[in-house]
Structures are given as structure tokens and as C-alpha cells.
Structure 1
């Protein structure tokens, strides 16, 4: 999976935005945004603000659910068993509860 910074860049490009457009959207100068995309390490509140400007949400996905989420996002077909388990209880294992 791409780093979160690469995902931000890909999302910005997909929306047809330039780095300088981020100043209008979220109040981050082109230089600040360029530095963020290239070197990273943004504060969480900055990251949330940028995601909002890119019409995106940040979320933590438990590793054991990552494949399911990726399959849903890419349209990948789950096996019949995986699909059945997900439909029966989409929250199973999310909080390490059985």
C-alpha cells in the first residue's frame, strides 16, 4: 500500500489540483504543501485538514481487515467464504472480540 503522503499526492492529482491550490482549500502555502508531500511528517491536525480539502477521510484500518477493505475499494472479488464471513459479521475481529 502506498504511503499516506503518496496517497495525498495521488488524490490531489486525481482532483486536478496543483500544490498551490492547497492554499485556497486549506490555508497551506504551496511551499508548505510541497514540503509535506516530499518530506512528510505532518501533524495529525494538519493531515486531517488536508484530507478534508481533498474530500477524503483518514482512518485506521486493522491489518486483519486491510485485505477486505482493499478488495472493496478495488472491486476485487472475495472468495465465497470470505464474502459470507464478511456479510454474516462485518465487525468480527475488529476489536479482538470473538
Structure 2
């Protein structure tokens, strides 16, 4: 995903895209699509330097909110990236209902 790619180019009918594009490097980026009509807020959070992530709070009727964190960690990143990523995951996991998904390439 790159900023030059408009939302209209990747749109899916009846879904709202949330995305974090890769900056200054090839490949990477992450996108999450949420069905229109679902109450969702994108959460501000610290981005780990070597990965892209989208953190959403999905408001569920008559229940706790669902925290949804999508992460892309590219292969062969700097060794300190795992600490930053772990902090982000721990913060998300501290909520009552959380779903963490992504592409977690192994650190070498």
C-alpha cells in the first residue's frame, strides 16, 4: 500500500477501508475493511518504526467494545522492532475484548 493509491482504487462496496501505508520503502502496508453500518473508530496509537498497524475500536451494541489491531511486520527488520511491537500488542491486550491479527514475519 502506498499513499499514491487512492481509497477509491481499493474500495469494496458496502465496506469502509482503514489503512496505514508503507512510507519510504517498497511493499508493506496494512488495510482493514469494516462493513458499513458497524460503529467503528480508528484509535490513535504509537506506530512501531519498522511495521504498519491499524487499531480500531468496534462498538458493539449491548456489549463491550472490541479492540481490533492489525499489524504488518516485514521480514528482516531491525532487532529492536520486536520491543516496540510487543509494547503495542500489550497495550491492545489490556482491553476486555481484543483481536490481534497480522503478518508477523520472524525477526532474524
TM-score grouping bracket, smaller chain normalisation: under 0.3
Greater share of strand: 2
Larger Rg: 1
TM-score (norm 2): 0.22
